[in-house]
Amino acid sequence: MKPIAQRIANAVYQNGPARILCFACLAAQQRMKEHDLRAVALVLMVRADLRVVRRVCSSCRRAGEVLIAQKVA
């Protein structure tokens, strides 16, 4: 797995179920563009057992797509 993908996967697992971030907030946390984060998310959905679901962001409180671990869903 590429370093950027590993970094995003680690962030999702470290944030855990208590702190679920939307793509915009996760991208800001990782200091990257949301578009680039979504591209990495496609890889992570296959390789790191993550998935995209609709939830309320813990940071901005908006409902939207978030990247979570399969076991959290």
**Strand, coil or helix: 54:** strand
pTM greater than 0.85: yes
Question: Which CATH topology does 3-72 take?
Answer: Arc Repressor Mutant, subunit A (1.10.10)
Taking the chain (73 residues) in consecutive chunks of 10 residues, what is each chunk's mean pLDDT? 88 87 95 95 90 95 92 56
Give pLDDT, residue 15.
83
Please say whether the beta carbons of 17 and 72 come within 8 A.
yes
Give pLDDT, residue 2.
83
Q: What is the DSSP string of 6-52?
A: HHHHHHHHHHTTTS--BHHHHHHHTTS-HHHHHHHHHHHHHHS-EEE
Give pLDDT, residue 22.
95
Please say whether the beta carbons of 47 and 15 come within 8 A.
no
